[in-house]
Each structure stands twice: as structure tokens, then as C-alpha cells.
Amino acid sequence: MLDTLFKAGVNVVRLNFSHGDPSGQAKRAAEVRAAAARVGAEVGILADLPGPKIRIERFAEGKIKLTMGDRFDLVADANAPAGDQHQVGVSYLGLPQDVTAGDVLLLDDGLMQLQVTDVQGARIVTTVLNDGVLSDRKGLNKQGGGLSLGALTERDKELIGIVAKIGVDFIAVSFCRNAQDMQDARQIAKQHGCDAQLVSKIERTEAIENLVEIVEASDVVMVARGDLGVEIGDAELPGLQKKIIRESLAQNKVVITATQMLQSMVESPIPTRAEVLDVANAVIDGTDAVMLSAETAAGAYPVRAVEAMARICLGAEHQFEFDTDFEAAQRNLQRADQAIAMATMFLSEHIGLGGVVALTESGGTPRFLSRFRSNMPIYAFTRHDGARRQMAMMRGVFPINFDSRGLTPREAARAAIRLLVENERMGPGDRVVFTSGEHMETHGATNTLRLLEVGDDGRATGLGEL
């Protein structure tokens, strides 16, 4: 199944550490690596930390039915009895300190709503606002946010060490509130010798208030629309999605749009028209990646869902012409590779390139190149496995295994172009911009741009520096 999914267009696999045990997830990670090797794909692995997800505890009968107007209590006590028609325990023992009379608590992604009427020690007295069924371990949010629970639990801190040993490429921090949450996660990862990129999941009201600093402290940003939509309300979600994507692109960060993108395909072989538009609009907004969850994890049509997602993304890009917006690009360029990236994309708009070839160590230059949202393919050549897998998340970037050690920049350019011609990604007459550094094995050293043309014999010519 994994082989087929990768051929259909999967670039990154998310392992949800809210479910399963670490040994099982390690086995899945090994299966991902093996399948990617079989099909010759660069596939990243994203470890999604559970975070401080607040849940109700279990019911004696598994579930209950509530009626609007009923009194129903939440008990923040580790020794709370099994739930019944009148009460249930909650996992967050500090909840009574975070709520007051009048607050609305949202359970099961907002399907059940409770209004707080009183707080009596560890007991939160509420009134049920709508009819519905409530079952074991459903999630709990506070409408409008305001919960003081930190982002990294003790379990999360342990898991960072575990996923470091597994060798994941991305670590997603759930329910982050501010830059400090991301900095704490990065520090723990470094202590374990882990160079995975950190993904901030924007899913709390507090995260929106601190968006600029969170994006700055992240490598990748995820628009986690599930819990975010529950806390802020559906009407605010579309505008906030655009805001998060816009801020991420402005800071040269990779961005993911997630949650219920093709939800109907859990049971249906085709998406709804609304879902097609949702995915396409995320692409037009500038997202690097769109994510499937239940559609592939538990759905009846996982391969069809991936194929549909890929088809919609390509269709959106083909029908919506992206104009490279240099006016919106960062003006405070502080590194040579940023300047080279801007010059490269400026050239691509004026001389008709067949592609951009970037020799890279860490993936920094391809990331800057991809921020301009050009239609130009970016071929990123590197010998580092981790860098290739991380670049698989970037829009328009095609990572390629290439060892430039012992080669001069000119020799590397010829070899890279020859490889693209052999793989039928380029042909005679195609013009290419080639970027590299004078010191080929140094991170952040890209400082040279060359304009090349593929000759009739498939060799690169016109190796003049610009």
C-alpha cells in the first residue's frame, strides 16, 4: 500500500503519536523508509506530538445522551468515578482555574456545547446547550481560548527523545502558544542530537495572538484547522488560514494546510465540489503542502484520496498563473543565498527557463527559491538524505541525490545537467540557472549563479557566470 501511495504523490508521512506505542511507530517509520527506497522516492516522516489535548474521561456505559437544558458536571479530579448521566471526569486538573460562569466549553469538536454556570472546587457545573450523544475520551476546548495549559507535556518531552532515535524529519508541536514553546522543543531536540525541522501547529487562540513570533521560531507552520476552528468559530477560519499562510511565506517558512480537506472520501470514492475548492484555494493562497488524515489512515479509498489531492493541486496551479511577486519579497536580505535566490527567480521571469538547478547542503537556497511561487521546477541536488526528505515538503522543489564532493562547480554543473537529461527532465535547447557555492560542502555558502543551456548532445554549455 505504501508503495502505491508514494507513486500517487505522497511526499511526507505523518505518524500521530497520540495513538499507538513508540515501538509500533518505529516499525511504521522503518516501513516508510523501505517503501520509499523501493519506489525511488524522497519521503519525509513527520512525528506529531500529542500535546496537552484536554479530554473527558470514560463513561461507565461507554456513552450517554444529553438533552438541552440538562445540568452536567465536569470533575477535575484524578480519582473521579466513571462518568454517568450527570458527570464525567476531565484529564486537565487545572480546568476549574481557567473557566468562569458564562464560558462555553466545546466537546467532540464542537458537537456538544456546555455553558459554565458555577465552579465549585474541582467541580465545574454546566448547562447543556444542545441535544447529543457524548462518548468516552472526547476532546474539550474553551470557546475563544484562554486555557493556561502549556504546549509541551512531560510525555511530549519523552517522545522527542524517542523520535530522535527513530530519525524523523519533522516534529510537530501541538497546541503551541508562543515562541517559547517552540524554543523549548528545539532545545530538547538538540539535547538528543536531533536535527528534525520543527512544525508549529496553529490551533489555539493564543497562537493567533502570537503568530509572528511563533512563525519566526518555527521551520514549518501547520494551519491545524480542527481545534482552531472549534476555538475561534467557523466564520473566522477562512480569513485566519490566509493570514497564517501569508505570514509564513513572508518569513520564508514552509506551510501546511490540514484537517478535513477531503473528509467525505473516508467513505466516498470521489470528493465533494466544496472539498475540491477548499484544496484548490489553499494552493492558490500559497500553501506548500496539503494534508490528509482520516482519509488515508482509516478511509475506504486511501489511494484515490491521494490521487484526487494531487490532481486538484496540479489543476489549481495550471489554471491559476502565479506572477512572481518581487514587490512582496523580503527587502532585508542578509545572506548571499537569499540574494542569489531572488536574482534566479527574476531571471526565470524574463528569459524562459526550463528549470532551476540548486546544489545545496541544507536546503536553504531551494527554500528561498520556492517562496517566490514561480511555475519553474526547482531541482535540488544534495548528498544529504535528511535534507532531501525535508525539501520534499517544499512547493515546486524536486530533491535529487547527488554527491558533489571532489568536483569543481563547473564539473558539478555538467554532471547535474547530464543527470536531468538522462532522466528526461530536460532536453536540448532548455535553459537552466545553476546555483552553487565556491565551497561546495559548506552550509549557507551559495554565492554563484550560472546561466546554462543544454546542447544537442545533452551537455551543458554557456557556463558563463552572471
Catalytic sites, residue numbers = 14, 55, 201, 259
* Side-chain-facing half-sphere of 264: CA atoms under 13 Å: 12
What is the enclosing helix (H) or strand (E) of 127? strand 123-128
**Are residues 279 and 261 in contact, defined by beta-carbon separation less than 8 angstroms?**
yes
CA torsion, points 362, 367, 368, 371, in degrees to nearest 10?
Answer: -170
Element (H, E) at 296: helix 294-297
149, amino acid identity: L
Distance CA 117, CA 102 (A): 6
Round to whole Å and give the CA distance between 368 and 242: 20
Q: Do 357 and 434 meet the contact criterion of CB atoms below 8 Å apart? A: yes
Which residue from 371, 360, 376 is spatially nearest to 394, judged by alpha carbons? 371
311: left (phi over 0), alpha (psi -120 to 50) or beta: alpha
Residue type, 79: N
Check if the beta carbon of residue 59 is closer than 8 Å to that of residue 89.
no
The grid coordinates of residue 466 equal 552572471
